[in-house]
Chains A and B, each alone.
Chain A
Amino acid sequence: MRTIINKPEVLAPAGTLEKLKVAINYGADAVYIGGDAYGLRTRAGNFSFDQMREGVAFAKAHNAKVYVAANIVAHEGDVQGAGKFFRTLRDIGISAVIVSDPSLIEIAITEAPGLPVHLSTQASATNYETLNFWQNEGLERVVLAREVGIEEIKEMRRHTNVQIEAFIHGAMCIGYSGRCVLSNHMSMRDANRGGCAQNCRWKYDLFEMPTMGEKQTETDPKTPFTMSAVDMAMIEHIPDLVEAGVNSFKIEGRMKSIHYVSTVANVYRRAVDSYCADPDHYVLNQDWVDELWKVAQREMSTGFYYGTPTQDDELFGKRRKRPQYTFVGQVLDYDAKRQVAMVQQRNNFGVGDKVEFYGPHFTHHEEVIQQLWDKDNDILRRAPDAMMVYQVPVDIPVKAGDMLRKERAK
């Protein structure tokens, strides 16, 4: 039986230490985080060096890796201290930095030798000679531009042996990443230094204007013009990505919740393992697809992988209906003798609610909550307080780290 030995890595986002641990518990081979400087997600929870140390220790114990994104496009003065920053990351045990600005790449390579460097998708690498250029500079891996198709990746593989990382899931820039400063010009926030105001998703008037101020509108009054991409989901195409030679499957979303990260990592872990164990008998499990829809924030598409995106890959007009789930809690502990789960509340739930429990290795079951107690064993109807721990008796055993969600009322 054929198996695939060089399994691609499942790479998940981790905005915080909690998300890092959840992502790894749910099957991520590697996570990427942001430091206090040089990263593009100024509003994501970024890691201090101490938090990185704890994250790296946790990752090592689980045979996983931690990468740090330092992918700003620097202006004068911005790179001060970068050499020391990269050396500290290396000494902490960070497995690679993800960089797009050549000045930061040069600093990482010359001032922190031994720290692997990955080219960020912000550099929009779209051809094999660009990959060769960066490999020649000493980079270990290139994260491809999201505009690259499956056939193009196969062609790249014929011309380069640098590691290839590609986005497989999550939100997308509508333009070539890095080549967009809508936010700078419209909102005075630097898109390439962590300030992106997502102006592409705004609703615009579209018009002709033969002379200044004399507008002749081309906008459908019911449907304004916009430049908003639907999200990417490649769950139905795992075999294509593996066979094209992608080394790392990247999930977008350092700002996303543990509900999102756990669900998406869980699904892709399962799909990649399943395909690589027996590629010739692989079948897509519809449950995986359904699972991704439970945390979907927008409609989903395959981006540029199978051709230039059409109107169906953008968000115009009314949103299409999709299932809506609420994350209600996380199991902190399970008392097997009493069959009671200790659940930390994340959203209101209570007696009578049908709740789905899910955990690592794609375990799932549903239960209707029959009883509920607080930690003093007082009987309750609802669990109203965020982050409070409640006791929930269950029929089927659960484990610490399992999550609870429920479908939103329609």
Chain B
Amino acid sequence: MLLTADVDTLYLGEDFFGLRLPHSFKRSEVAEIVQLAHAAGKKVTVAVNAIMHNDRIAKVADYLDFLAALQVDQITVGDPGVIYLLQQKKLNLPFIYDAEVLVTSARQVNFWAKHGASGAVIAREVPHDELTEMVTELQIPGEIQVYGATCIHQSGRPLLHNYFNFVKEHQDRADRARGLFVSAPHKPETHYSIYEDFNGTHVFANNDLNLITKLAELNDLGLTHWKLDGLFADHDQFVNIAQIFVAAKKAILAQKWTPDLVEQLDGQVGANQPANRGLDTGFYEIDPSEVQ
């Protein structure tokens, strides 16, 4: 369905190697998707961006061989151990550096470029005013998230189950589908998503990111790799949202980007947002000097 929505690249993976994925795909499924995508002239990025412990790094080499044989277009990597393996194996498998919150400067991105990265996912905590400085120095494309949930914490501990066990209120489920949130003290209006999975416990920003109104600005900055995260989105609605962003891209390229259209598309994104999730522009419009 996303292919028919005309996105350029599909992003997917399995939980053992990738972080916070909407679905964990088996190898046979990855193979099938790569075939479908390539037949449609689209690219596939596979997530290999987990924080790897020994038991996993031992299995990464084989997974990388598998992905290279499939001619996956690129992978995301956040652990230098995986980059070390790529260097040792000399595989033809381009990687995008994605260590989430850590990717905050051009100099850092360029360090990974020297180590073979073909791109980097810029941290959501980098505001527009810093992006303008960053783009002048970037030696490889910076990918920027324009829609979806922002992870703000990853723990190796099962924080929810530990809590349930402590209060002796046994609850089986603390997964993403359970739909748990936390609110900060004295701020009952806040709602940070929280769930557990194979990679630990994850906490997300108060609202999902929606930068549809900023796309022309990003385009002017040369930031044209837009990432949509469908972690909490409903299946069909996420396809709609992808279509809205594709329409936005086409309008910008055709120089038909008008205030009316922006308002219309922004409304459409909102209409497809899950009923229990808000939208905002995250750190994009924040003055860097406000962050202490």
Contacts and interface: CB of A to CB of B under 8 A. Distances in A.
Given A128-B57, A202-B184, A311 B275 contact: no
- What interface size band does chain A fall in? 35 or more
B178 interface: yes
B106 to A, nearest CB: 7
A101 B108 contact: yes
Contacts of B79: 126-127, 130
Interface stretch (A180-188, A288-296, A331-339, A372-380): A180-188
A26 interface: no
Interface stretch (B23-31, B154-162, B242-250, B254-262): B154-162
A187 B234 CA distance: 30
Interface string B162-201: 1101110101000000111111110011110010000011
A192 interface: yes
B104 A124 contact: no
B163 A205 contact: no
B101 A181 contact: yes
Given A133-B84, A190-B291, A78 B162 contact: no
A160 to B, nearest CB: 10
Interface stretch (A8-16, A30-38, A45-53, A209-217): A209-217
A103 B105 contact: yes
A97 B157 CA distance: 30
Contact of B288 (A75, A105, A152, A211): A75
A126 to B, nearest CB: 5
A134 B104 CA distance: 20
B235 interface: no
Contacts of B74: none
Interface string B274-288: 011110000100101
Interface residues of B, number: 74
A77 interface: yes
A245 interface: no
A208 B54 contact: no
A102 B108 contact: yes
Contacts, number: 221
A282 interface: no
Interface in B70-127: 79-85, 100-102, 104-108, 110-112, 125-126
Nearest to A210: B276
A255 interface: no
B56 to A, nearest CB: 7
A73 B275 contact: no
Contact of B156 (A73, A147, A207): A147
Contact of B291 (A186, A189, A208, A218): A189
B107 A103 contact: yes
Contacts of A202: 184-185
Contacts of B84: 129-130, 132-133, 136
A199 B185 CA distance: 10
Given A74-B108, A75-B105, A179-B101, A211 B152 contact: no
Contact of A317 (B102, B160, B166, B286): B166
Contacts of A223: 166-167
Interface of B: 51-54, 56-57, 79-85, 100-102, 104-108, 110-112, 125-126, 130, 133-134, 150, 152-160, 162-163, 165-167, 169, 171, 178-185, 188-191, 194, 200-201, 203, 205-206, 275-278, 283, 286, 288, 290-292
